[in-house]
Protein backbone atom coordinates (compact mmCIF):
# COMPACT_ATOMS: atom_id res chain seq x y z
CA UNK A 1 0.00 0.00 0.00
CA UNK A 2 3.00 2.26 0.55
CA UNK A 3 3.86 2.18 -3.16
CA UNK A 4 0.27 3.12 -4.02
CA UNK A 5 0.48 6.14 -1.70
CA UNK A 6 3.78 7.26 -3.23
CA UNK A 7 2.46 6.98 -6.80
CA UNK A 8 -0.85 8.63 -5.86
CA UNK A 9 0.99 11.50 -4.13
CA UNK A 10 3.10 12.11 -7.22
CA UNK A 11 0.14 11.85 -9.62
CA UNK A 12 -1.99 14.09 -7.40
CA UNK A 13 0.56 16.90 -7.74
CA UNK A 14 1.21 16.39 -11.47
CA UNK A 15 -2.48 16.16 -12.38
CA UNK A 16 -3.40 19.22 -10.28
CA UNK A 17 -0.67 21.20 -12.08
CA UNK A 18 -2.06 20.06 -15.43
CA UNK A 19 -5.59 21.02 -14.29
CA UNK A 20 -4.51 24.51 -13.24
CA UNK A 21 -2.62 24.93 -16.53
CA UNK A 22 -5.72 23.96 -18.55
CA UNK A 23 -8.01 26.23 -16.51
CA UNK A 24 -5.60 29.18 -16.72
CA UNK A 25 -5.23 28.61 -20.46
CA UNK A 26 -9.02 28.61 -20.88
CA UNK A 27 -9.28 31.86 -18.90
CA UNK A 28 -6.32 33.42 -20.77
CA UNK A 29 -7.86 32.43 -24.11
CA UNK A 30 -11.24 33.86 -23.16
CA UNK A 31 -9.78 37.16 -21.94
CA UNK A 32 -7.60 37.57 -25.04
CA UNK A 33 -10.35 36.69 -27.51
CA UNK A 34 -12.94 38.93 -25.85
CA UNK A 35 -10.78 41.96 -25.08
CA UNK A 36 -7.92 41.63 -27.56
CA UNK A 37 -4.84 43.34 -26.25
CA UNK A 38 -1.12 43.11 -26.83
CA UNK A 39 -0.95 39.29 -26.71
CA UNK A 40 -3.66 38.73 -29.32
CA UNK A 41 -3.25 39.03 -33.07
CA UNK A 42 -5.50 38.44 -36.06
CA UNK A 43 -3.65 36.74 -38.90
CA UNK A 44 -4.51 36.19 -42.57
CA UNK A 45 -7.72 34.35 -43.50
CA UNK A 46 -9.36 35.27 -40.14
CA UNK A 47 -6.98 33.02 -38.21
CA UNK A 48 -5.70 34.21 -34.84
CA UNK A 49 -2.82 33.74 -32.45
CA UNK A 50 -2.54 34.20 -28.72
CA UNK A 51 1.02 34.83 -27.59
CA UNK A 52 2.80 33.91 -24.41
CA UNK A 53 2.52 36.86 -22.02
CA UNK A 54 5.02 39.66 -22.71
CA UNK A 55 6.42 37.97 -25.84
CA UNK A 56 5.71 37.72 -29.55
CA UNK A 57 5.95 33.92 -29.36
CA UNK A 58 2.71 32.14 -30.32
CA UNK A 59 1.11 30.09 -27.54
CA UNK A 60 -2.19 29.12 -29.20
CA UNK A 61 -3.20 29.25 -32.84
CA UNK A 62 -6.83 29.40 -33.90
CA UNK A 63 -8.14 28.26 -37.29
CA UNK A 64 -10.78 30.97 -37.44
CA UNK A 65 -11.76 33.87 -35.25
CA UNK A 66 -15.50 33.23 -34.83
CA UNK A 67 -17.70 32.99 -31.77
CA UNK A 68 -18.28 29.28 -32.42
CA UNK A 69 -14.59 28.43 -32.74
CA UNK A 70 -13.51 30.45 -29.70
CA UNK A 71 -16.39 28.98 -27.65
CA UNK A 72 -15.34 25.49 -28.69
CA UNK A 73 -11.72 26.17 -27.75
CA UNK A 74 -12.54 27.67 -24.34
CA UNK A 75 -15.12 24.95 -23.55
CA UNK A 76 -12.65 22.20 -24.42
CA UNK A 77 -9.86 23.69 -22.33
CA UNK A 78 -12.13 24.37 -19.34
CA UNK A 79 -13.79 20.95 -19.54
CA UNK A 80 -10.47 19.11 -19.48
CA UNK A 81 -9.19 21.44 -16.76
CA UNK A 82 -12.15 20.35 -14.66
CA UNK A 83 -11.58 16.70 -15.63
CA UNK A 84 -7.97 16.82 -14.45
CA UNK A 85 -9.02 18.63 -11.25
CA UNK A 86 -11.48 15.89 -10.22
CA UNK A 87 -8.99 13.21 -11.31
CA UNK A 88 -6.42 14.83 -9.03
CA UNK A 89 -8.91 14.51 -6.18
CA UNK A 90 -9.17 10.76 -6.89
CA UNK A 91 -5.39 10.47 -6.56
CA UNK A 92 -5.59 12.54 -3.36
CA UNK A 93 -7.95 9.88 -1.98
CA UNK A 94 -5.40 7.12 -2.56
CA UNK A 95 -2.53 8.98 -0.93
CA UNK A 96 -4.31 9.21 2.43
CA UNK A 97 -3.29 7.03 5.36
CA UNK A 98 -6.92 6.07 6.00
CA UNK A 99 -8.43 4.96 2.71
CA UNK A 100 -12.16 4.59 3.39
CA UNK A 101 -13.32 8.08 4.36
CA UNK A 102 -16.33 10.21 3.51
CA UNK A 103 -13.99 12.68 1.82
CA UNK A 104 -12.52 9.92 -0.35
CA UNK A 105 -15.99 8.72 -1.23
CA UNK A 106 -16.97 12.30 -2.15
CA UNK A 107 -13.95 12.56 -4.48
CA UNK A 108 -14.87 9.32 -6.25
CA UNK A 109 -18.50 10.44 -6.61
CA UNK A 110 -17.43 13.75 -8.14
CA UNK A 111 -15.26 11.92 -10.66
CA UNK A 112 -17.94 9.48 -11.78
CA UNK A 113 -20.59 12.22 -11.87
CA UNK A 114 -18.32 14.32 -14.07
CA UNK A 115 -17.71 11.41 -16.45
CA UNK A 116 -21.26 10.03 -16.54
CA UNK A 117 -23.28 13.28 -16.41
CA UNK A 118 -21.37 16.48 -17.05
CA UNK A 119 -19.01 15.30 -19.79
CA UNK A 120 -21.68 13.74 -22.04
CA UNK A 121 -23.87 16.86 -21.77
CA UNK A 122 -20.92 19.15 -22.47
CA UNK A 123 -19.73 16.94 -25.35
CA UNK A 124 -23.15 17.04 -27.00
CA UNK A 125 -23.21 20.84 -26.69
CA UNK A 126 -19.63 20.93 -27.91
CA UNK A 127 -20.51 18.82 -30.96
CA UNK A 128 -23.37 21.19 -31.86
CA UNK A 129 -21.09 24.23 -32.02
CA UNK A 130 -18.03 22.32 -33.22
CA UNK A 131 -16.24 23.43 -36.32
CA UNK A 132 -13.49 20.85 -35.93
CA UNK A 133 -13.94 17.14 -36.60
CA UNK A 134 -13.59 15.50 -33.17
CA UNK A 135 -14.48 11.88 -32.36
CA UNK A 136 -17.19 12.96 -29.88
CA UNK A 137 -18.83 9.54 -29.63
CA UNK A 138 -15.53 7.82 -28.85
CA UNK A 139 -14.70 10.47 -26.25
CA UNK A 140 -18.11 10.03 -24.57
CA UNK A 141 -17.63 6.24 -24.50
CA UNK A 142 -14.13 6.57 -23.01
CA UNK A 143 -15.39 8.91 -20.27
CA UNK A 144 -18.38 6.64 -19.63
CA UNK A 145 -16.08 3.64 -19.15
CA UNK A 146 -13.98 5.61 -16.64
CA UNK A 147 -17.16 6.80 -14.93
CA UNK A 148 -18.63 3.31 -14.59
CA UNK A 149 -15.35 1.91 -13.26
CA UNK A 150 -15.12 4.64 -10.61
CA UNK A 151 -18.84 4.22 -9.85
CA UNK A 152 -18.11 0.58 -8.93
CA UNK A 153 -15.08 1.67 -6.92
CA UNK A 154 -17.24 4.24 -5.07
CA UNK A 155 -19.71 1.48 -4.17
CA UNK A 156 -16.83 -0.49 -2.66
CA UNK A 157 -15.67 2.62 -0.83
CA UNK A 158 -19.19 3.17 0.52
CA UNK A 159 -19.10 -0.34 1.96
CA UNK A 160 -15.63 0.33 3.40
CA UNK A 161 -16.75 3.59 5.02
CA UNK A 162 -19.73 1.81 6.60
CA UNK A 163 -17.56 -1.03 7.92
CA UNK A 164 -14.97 1.41 9.24
CA UNK A 165 -17.67 3.45 11.02
CA UNK A 166 -19.03 0.27 12.62
CA UNK A 167 -15.54 -0.71 13.72
CA UNK A 168 -14.98 2.77 15.21
CA UNK A 169 -18.16 2.34 17.26
CA UNK A 170 -16.85 -0.90 18.81
CA UNK A 171 -13.47 0.52 19.79
**How do the domains of the chain map onto residue ranges?**
2-170
What is the pLDDT, as a whole number, of residue 127?
Answer: 80
Q: Which residues are CB-contacts of 167 (< 8 A; sequence separation ≥ 6)?
A: none
Q: Contact at 8 Å (CB) between 85 and 23?
A: yes
Phi/psi of residue 98, each to 5°? Answer: -100, 115
Cα dihedral 138, 134, 57, 81 in deg (nearest 10): -40
Stretches where the chain sits below pLDDT 70 are 168-171
What is the pLDDT, as a whole number, of residue 48?
Answer: 93
What is the pLDDT, as a whole number, of residue 171?
Answer: 53
What is the pLDDT, as a whole number, of residue 95?
Answer: 94
Amino acid sequence: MKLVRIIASYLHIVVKIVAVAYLLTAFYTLINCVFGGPFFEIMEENRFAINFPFTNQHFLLGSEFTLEYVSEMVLGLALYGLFFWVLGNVFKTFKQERLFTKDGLKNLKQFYQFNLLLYPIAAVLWSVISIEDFPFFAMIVAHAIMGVFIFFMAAIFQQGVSLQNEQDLYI
